[in-house]
Structure formats: C-alpha cells, structure tokens
Structure 1
C-alpha cells in the first residue's frame, strides 16, 4: 500500500506508526488509518489542523479532556494515545479503528435494516449518551457521521464540540449540524442543555430506520419550518419560554403537523413512542438517556443483558472456587446478621420472673 507523503510517521509511547490511507477529512482535522510498526495493529489517527504551542494547550483541548474522562466505556470511542510534536506544533489522537460510521452504513443500502439491529444500535447510542451525561459532558454534535460501528458494536466518537453540562450559558449558537439541531438551539441565543443530544438521537433513530433525514432544512428558518411540518407548531407557552432568551422576536403560522407514523412502516408500535419522546419540542418534556434505556422498546435487550450478566457471573464462580467461597461466606454472614436483627426486633417485652422450684413427689410433680 502507498504511504501518504503528506503525513509523516508518528512516534509516541505506543511505538512508531505509519500512515496507510486517509479515511476522512473535516474542518479541523484529518482522519487517517495508521499501523503501529511495533505490533502491526491498525488504528485511526485524528490529525488536528490547529497549531499547538505547549503541552498545556494540548491538555486543554476539549476532545482530549472528554475522552479521558469518558474512557473506558464500551460505547465510547477508545483513545489509546495522544502524540504532541512540539517542534511542528502538531497533535494527533490515536484511537481504535472502527469499520464505518452510520451514514456510510445506510447511504447506499437498498434493503431496510432489521428492526432488531435498529433497536440494538439505538440502545447502545442511549448507553453512550447516558454515560456521557452522568459524567457531566454533552456532545453537541450527535449525527450519523459521528456514530461509529464495528459489526454489532456501536461507539460514539468526535468529541470536538463537547461541553461541560455545568458550564455557564449562553453557549455557541450554531454548534451542531443543522439537520440534527434541537429547536432550543435554533430559537434561543445559545440557551440549551444536554437534552439537545436526545433530540439529535431521535433524528438519528428516524434516519437509521428510513434511510432519509427527518428534518433536512436548507437554512435556519427552513429547518424550523420542516420541524413544524412534522410535529406541529408548539403552544405559545413553549415559544414564549424560548423568546425570553432571544433578542429577535418570532411568530409562526399554526400547523398541526403530519406526524412521523406514515413514514415509518417498518418500526414497531413501541418504537414510535420512544422516537416521539426524544423529539419533544420542549426540552423539559424531552426524555433523557437514562429514561430512554428503561423504555418498553428496549425491554427485550434489557432482559437478554441481565441473563448474559448472570451467566458470566456463574461461569466466573465456577472457574474461581475461592471467589465462590467468599461469596458464600458473605451470604452466610448477612443471613446471621439478619437473624440477629430479627431476634432483637421480636424480643419479648414481657418481664421475666424466677419461679420457686416445685417440690417433687413420688416421681411426679
């Protein structure tokens, strides 16, 4: 294979890497497929276009901070190494190599994905969002291109736009890709929260199932118009809430909305309520990732997950008798403790008296 001359070999703690091919390009970075010369393993290298002055400058990069906080997690892209070339001022993020992103999976596909596969992908996406939000970070650019897959495994990547949930508003207005931008991002001057990720997830849900974007707006106004066409114009109470953090006023013609159902023939009845819960206009009414994971749509996956966990636990105990004995001892100890507590709880309140001994007569009493 040809090694690109544009990107020199990288040397880091994991060894020396050579470039195999260029697999992606963005405004702020190039993504390369690289190979570690020490062990022959392939990785994805995100080569930043920005110039960095110092290691402190590198460590302040949001993407690095987010990945360090969120790793390891089965549904978050793994960061293996950060390489900083002080002389060139360049930074490269060495991450695990996935097969493709969701957009690449569906863009030329003719046959619909089986619903079990859609369900599995959405369950994993909600897991990644739940882990991220519980760790105080929101992504701000959830879209098919940033959701990576390897066979049945899904991982969320590209944390370059991420922010701390606890950071002060207002945020940057035009951060997420327009088609996946929540109403509060479109209608306020940067007053939005982590719930914007759930709106984006709802848009991705529709796109995985239909292979078409749900709200493909040509500009900001057209984006809002397309949202209103599908889910209707929200009540004045919600719009007034948005107006409080907007310099410019707005009024929209009242539309009922034609709904999502007619366009989703291959999604079961339990799937649509979850999608609508993700696409609630008011972020305060929108489902969060933890609630989404408990939705009826994912019941089958939750049951299978519990069964697999129980099986792994049994196998582990069978392989490690010492751990099994320790668990048995802990169980016995807890039983003893419970029995002791019960005895205390049911201790008779009746006073005890010593009765005089009865005189024995002829072998009887």
Structure 2
C-alpha cells in the first residue's frame, strides 16, 4: 500500500504482514527485518525506514521507501526493447546489490523482475522474505524462487544449492530486460528442466553425478546439444552474450559470481563513469588529493579453475578503507590520569540467519504513545483524514510461480 506519514508528510510503501506476532522478540527475529537492517544503507537495496508493530492485534507492517515501479511493469507491453545503455546501467546496479548482499552473508533466493524496483533510473532489490544465510546448514527449502528463474541445482537436488542461484536468476532477468521475453518459461518443474536443456543443452556427466549425490531419486536425461540463447533482439552485443552465458552456466561451480560480474568488460563504461564520479567527489572534498585508485584488472574469459568459487567469508565484506594521502595523523593526547572504563554489554538478539553471522541486530522497542487526543504541531497542519491507496495486484500470465 501507498501510505502518507503524519509525522513528515512523505509517502512510503507499506508492506503488511499476514502473519500475527506475539512479541517484539518474534518481530526482531523475522528474517526479512534482520536482512534489511544488515544490508541498509546501500544505494541498490530497498531502504527500510520503520517497523510498526501493534502488540494488541499482533499486526506488523514494514515502512519502506516508495519506488515508481518494478522491472516487470517497466517492460510489460513495450513494443521496443530498452536501449543497451539503460540495460547495462540496470544490470550493473543489480550486480552491485547482489555483491553487497553476498559479501554480507545473505543470498536472496527469489530474484525476479517483480522484486527489482526502479525509480528515476535507480534500481533497488527488495522483498527479502525468502532470503537465507550463506553460512546456514543445507539442505534448504526445495521449492523456492519463482519457477522461471529457478536454477538447475534447485530443480535437481533436495535443497542443496548456494548463493550462486541468485546469479542464475539475474541472468534470466538480464535476458528478459533485453528481449522482453522470458528465457525459460516452463509450465511445471519437468517442463522447466526441458526448457533449460533446449537452450543450453544437457549438462556433462560430472555435473549430473554431483547433483545425483544429493538427490534421493535418480534421474537421467537424453543427450541434447541445445539451440543456444535465442537472439530475439539486436541489442545483445558479444560482451553482453559473454556475461549472460557466464550467469546461466549449468554447473554452479562454473557460474560467475557477483563480484566477478562487476569486473566484466561489459561493464567497462559503467566502471569508468563510477570512477569519474568518485574522483569528482574527492576533488570537491579533498582538493589536495588528486590521485584516484584504479580498479583491479581481470583477464577474461575465465579459465575453468579460475571460475570456481570458494564459499564467501564474512570478512570479505568488511575491507578497510584507506583515507586520502593528504590527511595528517592526529597527535596522541597525553592525559595525567586515565581511568579505564568498564565495558557494558548491550542486549543483542539471537540471529536466525546462521551461526556464523556476527552482525548485531538492533532491538526494536514498542512505540510510546503520549495520548490519543494529543497532536503535535506538525500533525495539526496535515489533514487527519487521508485516503489509503491500494495498489492492484499483478496477475502474470503463464504461471511462473
């Protein structure tokens, strides 16, 4: 729902939870709230502004920033595809959101056009209700993610998949943005596998053996070469196809990671523009510092050994930031008498996202109401009777769920 705040008059997107909650501890343990608090703030992650919990009724609502539309609404009914520059801009932001999320030990599990929001050419990933921790113990839920964007390891194993499934889904979204057509529109689980094999062919025996080890029921597929990714649009350049093929690699060990995708030659223009923007900001704040660190270069394409990814570690997302070279180190203070402060441990909540996630989650406290009839000065200026806008649900043809 689209809501207006009586506090500041701004509009927000309100996500009302169907589940009823008994306590604040249960609310704070909700996986989606913990994920949004850990990932915020980030320019490509939907911002969570407030959590509204009514103890009496047990209702819970998340107040997030209001976006213009999602990717599906953007491409629905279009006769001509988006420009290659805009596609590149959107996919670069999507890869940045996935990289930030994976470095913080979370993978989304439901990346699709409906969960990718756009406002003034700024792309943000939302709806973290299905997310899980990278460090949580397998197997996971089998029937996760929307069918059209579900990775092969999710279809052929009993819940043994990793964060690489988000890259497969992003590759399917990549093709759909460029061609305005879904890449693998399966009508059921078996047809979904058949659609994948029709395009990229059946996997090698090594990959099938790997999947069979984590499956109670055995399976075999007749050999099929695959017709290749259909070129329904002329917007797909060779570099674009190279990144797309790397995203939809059948074997998750051979699939590209988000931090590797950001260094792909397809995003060379985006990286150059981002570096120039950072340089302009640095010159504005630090005129004496004129040097800009260069991004590490990667040789493409990757070899088979180079594409194999080890499990992400939480320390990767907490790199030290080096300050400008012109800043001087402050002198140490010399105090005559120094008293050592006793450390006071603040109450923290037990994370449901995994045992290896060490990030602290802030405690949600109930709102204190001074009185029902009392209004602040800002509330008196705003009309009390506001209409609620109900956004219509989008019924997508072709199943896909």
The reply on whether 1:47 has 2:16 as its aligned counterpart is yes
Show CA shifts across 1:184-236 (max 9, x none): 00000000000000000000000000111100101000000000000000111
Question: What's the secondary structure of 1:129's corresponding residue?
Answer: helix
Alignment counterpart, residue 286 of structure 1, candidates 236, 241, 255 = 255
> What residue number does 1:35 align with?
4
Match of 1:149 in 2: 118
Partner of 1:115: 84
Q: Does 1:165 align with 2:134?
A: yes
Change (3 A) 1:319 1:168: same
SS at match of 2:61: strand
Corresponding residue for 1:104? 73
Runs of 5+ consecutive residues of structure 2 not aligned to the other structure = 290-323, 330-401
For 1:210 and 1:91, locate their aligned partners in 2 and report how far apart those are by CA, in whole Å.
Answer: 39
Q: Deviations over 1:85-114 (max 9, x none)?
A: 010000000000000000000011112100
The structure with more helix, counted as a fraction of residues: 1
Structure 2 CA distance for aligned equivalents of residues 329 and 273 of structure 1:
42
Matched with 2:151 is 182
Deviating beyond 4 angstroms after TM superposition, the runs of 4 or more aligned structure 1 residues are: none
Tell me the equivalent position of 1:10: none
- Which residue pairs with 2:348 in the alignment? none
Q: 1:315 to 1:231 in 2, by over 3 A?
A: same
User: What is the CA-CA distance between 1:315 and the residue it aligns to?
Assistant: 1.2
CA contact 1:277–1:287 (8 Å) conserved in 2: yes
1:325-348 CA distance string (max 9 Å, x none): x953649xxxxxxxxxxxxxxxxx
* Cα RMSD (Å): 1.5
| 1:216 correspondence with 2:168 | no
Structure (1 or 2) with the larger CA radius of gyration? 1
**Following the alignment from structure 2 to structure 1, what is the Cα–Cα distance between the partners of residues 202 and 125?**
31
Higher relative contact order, chain-length normalized (CA < 8 Å, sep 6+):
2
TM-score (norm 1): 0.79
Residues 92, 267 of structure 2: 8 Å contact kept? yes
Number of residue pairs aligned between Structure 1 and Structure 2: 295
Structure 2 CA distance for aligned equivalents of residues 268 and 62 of structure 1: 39
Identify the structure with the greater strand proportion.
Answer: 1
CA distance in 1, matches of 2:30, 2:286: 43
Q: Quick check: 2:288–2:326 contact (8 Å CA) kept in 1?
A: no
CA distance in 2, matches of 1:300, 1:94: 35
